[in-house]
């Protein structure tokens, strides 16, 4: 199994630009999670999907952030426009949960390190 795949691994962009982060969950997993990790706030759950449907997006910081899951094997997290305070490591994780409840173990991707100048 290839595990959770994220791309790009590193992204450097300028303030105001659009940033798109990508995630491919583990095959067969039907729950997908986006996290952000910063020194100040630690690890925060931004949004999670179950069967491609967003279940809880209460962690999304503001309207500049949006996430989609068009199919079971792909998800994107988009920031538009990006700001320096968005600089962080963004993790995607997936699990085999069969309902809208988070119950199964989450397996994390390698993360995308984002730097907004």
Where does this chain bind another protein (CB under 8 A)? 33, 42-43, 45, 56, 89, 91, 93, 101-103, 105-108, 110-111, 113
Pairing state of beta strands 65-71 and 112-116?
unpaired
> Which is closer to another protein, CB of 14 or CB of 111?
111
Query: Would you give the distance in Å from CA 31 to the centre of its chain?
Result: 12
Residue 36 is classified by DSSP as: E
Instruction: Round to the nearest angstrom and report the end-to-end CA distance of the chain.
Output: 36
Pairing state of beta strands 88-95 and 112-116?
antiparallel
> Which is closer to another protein, CB of 37 or CB of 66?
37
Sign of CA dihedral 97, 113, 74, 49: positive
Question: Least distance (Å) from another protein to the CB of residue 80?
Answer: 25
Query: What is the spatial distance between Cα 59 and Cα 85, in angstroms, rounded to a whole number?
Result: 16
Question: Least distance (Å) from another protein to the CB of residue 77?
Answer: 16
Question: Least distance (Å) from another protein to the CB of residue 39?
Answer: 10
> Which is closer to another protein, CB of 81 or CB of 89?
89
> Which is closer to another protein, CB of 15 or CB of 43?
43
Question: Least distance (Å) from another protein to the CB of residue 31?
Answer: 11
């Amino acid at each position: 199994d290839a595990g959770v795949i994220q791309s790009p691994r590193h992204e450097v962009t300028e303030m105001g630009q659009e940033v798109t982060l990508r995630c491919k969950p583990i095959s067969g997993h039907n729950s997908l999670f986006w996290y952000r990790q910063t020194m100040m706030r630690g690890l925060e759950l931004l949004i999670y999907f179950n069967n491609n449907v967003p279940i809880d997006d209460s962690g999304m910081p503001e309207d500049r952030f949006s996430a989609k899951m068009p199919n079971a094997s792909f998800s994107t997290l988009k920031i538009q426009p990006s700001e320096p305070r968005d600089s962080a490591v963004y993790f995607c994780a997936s699990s085999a949960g069969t309902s809208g409840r988070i119950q199964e173990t989450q397996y994390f991707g390698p993360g995308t390190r984002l730097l907004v100048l």
